[in-house]
């Protein structure tokens, strides 16, 4: 099984939240875990927000970003996905950032792991397999 991991799914795993063990199991059972390369910026920013809110330490923030990056086998250049992602974002009135994950999953016949309910709903409409 090919899996696309979005940052909301990764945070569930990294911070051992309610869906963390289910998502972690899916990742471990995947033959290939991919994400658009914007994942690097997103996970760094999200974990910085946890640091800023004093939920995690500076050192823990760095380790969690590294662990989050290690969850993904390959990062795919968004330059290859932008036009289709923009089109779906316009059609669905939804964040283009999220559409990169959906389009990557669709192009690779992959399952998208996400904790984003709005994105999961769009993926259902687009017939993209999700783990939510």
pLDDT digits (tens, 9 = 90+) for 64-118: 999 999 999 999 999 999 999 999 999 999 999 999 999 999 999 999 999 999 9
| Beta strand pairing call for 111-113 and 32-36 | unpaired
Q: What is the C-alpha to C-alpha distance for residues 64 and 76, in angstroms, rounded to an integer?
A: 21
Ramachandran angles phi, psi of 76, nearest 5°: -100, 135
Question: Which DSSP category does 92 fall into?
Answer: H
How do strand 32-36 and strand 2-5 relate by DSSP bridges? parallel
Q: What is the pLDDT of residue 73?
A: 98
Strands (E), 13-128: 32-36, 74-76, 111-113
CATH of 2-131, one of 3.40.50.12240, 3.40.50.300, 3.40.50.1010, 3.30.1300.10: 3.40.50.1010
Share of the chain above pLDDT 90, in %: 100
pLDDT of residue 66: 98
Section 122-131 average pLDDT: 97
**How do residues 29-51 score in pLDDT, each as one tens digit?**
999 999 999 999 999 999 999 99
- Tell me the whole-structure pTM to 2 decimals: 0.95
Using N-to-C axis directions, what is the helix angle for 20-28 and 7-14, rounded to 10°? 110
């Amino acid at each position: 099984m090919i899996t696309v991991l979005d940052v909301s799914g990764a945070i569930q795993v990294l911070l051992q939240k309610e869906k963390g063990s289910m998502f972690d199991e899916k990742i471990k059972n995947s033959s290939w875990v991919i994400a658009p390369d914007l994942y690097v910026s997103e996970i760094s920013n999200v974990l910085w927000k946890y640091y800023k809110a004093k939920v995690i330490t500076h050192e823990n923030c760095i380790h969690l970003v590294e662990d989050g990056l290690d969850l993904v086998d390959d990062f795919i250049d968004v330059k290859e996905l932008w036009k289709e992602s923009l089109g779906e974002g316009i059609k669905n009135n939804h964040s283009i950032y999220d559409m990169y994950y959906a389009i990557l999953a669709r192009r690779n016949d992959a399952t998208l792991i996400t904790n984003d309910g709005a994105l999961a709903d769009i993926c259902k409409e687009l017939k993209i397999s999700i783990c939510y």
